[in-house]
A and B are shown apart, each in its own frame.
Chain A
Amino acid sequence: MSGRRIFARPARFAAIAPYVWMVLFFLVPFGFVLKISLSQTAIAQPPYEPVFDLMAGWEVLKAAFAALSLDNFKLLVSDDIYVFAYVRSLTVAVTASALLLMIGYPIAYGMARLPRRWQGVAMVLVIVPFWTSFLIRIYAWINILQHDGLLNQILLALHLVSQPVVWLSTDSAMYIGIVYSYLPFMILPLYATLAKMEPVLEEAASDLGAPPWRVFWLVTFPLSLPGVGAGVLLCFIPIVGEFVIPDLLAGSNSLMIGQTLWLEFFTNKDWPVASAAAMVLLVVLLVPLLLYERLQKRQLEQGR
Chain B
Amino acid sequence: MTDELPRANVAADRGGGDAFPAEGQPLLRIEGVAKTFGTFRAVDGVSLDINSGEFFALLGPSGCGKTTLLRMLAGFEAPDEGRILLGGKDIAQALPHERPINMMFQNYALFPHLSVRDNIAFGLKRAGMHRADIATRVAEMVALVKLEGLEKRKPDQLSGGQRQRVALARALARRPQLLLLDEPLAALDKKLRESTQGELMELQRRLGMTFIIVTHDQEEAMTMASRIGVMNAGKLAQVASPRELYEAPRSRWIAEFVGDVNLFDGELKLRDGHRLVIATREAGTLVVAEPREPVSQTKLSVAIRPEKVKLSHRGPVSEAGHETAINSLDGVVADICYLGGISTYKVKLDGGGIVQASVANSARLDVDAYSLNQRVVAWFTPDDCVVLSS
Contacts and interface: CB of A to CB of B under 8 A. Distances in A.
Interface in B64-103: 71, 76-78, 93, 95-96
Contact residues of B: prevailing secondary structure: loop
Contacts of A6: 76, 95-96
Contacts of A3: 71, 76-77, 96
Nearest to B97: A6
B283 to A, nearest CB: 46
Contacts of B78: 1-2
Which of under 10, 10 to 19, 20 to 34, or 35 or more describes the interface residues of A? under 10
Contacts of B95: 6
A151 to B, nearest CB: 49
A2 B72 CA distance: 9
A94 to B, nearest CB: 44
A1 B78 CA distance: 6
B3 to A, nearest CB: 35
Interface string A73-115: 0000000000000000000000000000000000000000000
Contacts of B71: 3
Nearest to B79: A1
Nearest to A1: B78
A2 B96 CA distance: 11
Contacts of A1: 77-78, 93
B66 to A, nearest CB: 16
A6 B96 CA distance: 9
A251 B95 CA distance: 66
Interface in B305-347: none
B224 to A, nearest CB: 26
Nearest to A3: B76
A247 B378 CA distance: 92
B225 to A, nearest CB: 25
Interface in A1-39: 1-3, 6
A3 B95 CA distance: 9
Contacts of B76: 2-3, 6
B250 to A, nearest CB: 32
A1 B75 CA distance: 10
B304 to A, nearest CB: 44
Nearest to B80: A1
A2 B38 CA distance: 12
Nearest to A6: B95
Name the residue among B71, B76, B93, B95 with the largest chain A CB count within 10 angstroms: B76
A2 B68 CA distance: 10
A2 B95 CA distance: 10
A237 B77 CA distance: 43
Interface string B42-54: 0000000000000
B262 to A, nearest CB: 40
A5 to B, nearest CB: 9
Interface in A236-251: none
A1 B77 CA distance: 6
A9 to B, nearest CB: 11
A184 B76 CA distance: 42
A2 B80 CA distance: 11
A2 B78 CA distance: 6
A3 B96 CA distance: 9
A294 to B, nearest CB: 23
10 contacts: A1-B77, A1-B78, A1-B93, A2-B76, A2-B78, A3-B71, A3-B76, A3-B77, A3-B96, A6-B96
Given A1-B93, A6-B96, 11 more contacts: A1-B77, A1-B78, A2-B76, A2-B77, A2-B78, A3-B71, A3-B76, A3-B77, A3-B96, A6-B76, A6-B95
Cβ-closest 10 pairs across A and B: A3-B76, A1-B78, A2-B77, A6-B95, A3-B77, A3-B71, A2-B76, A6-B96, A6-B76, A1-B77
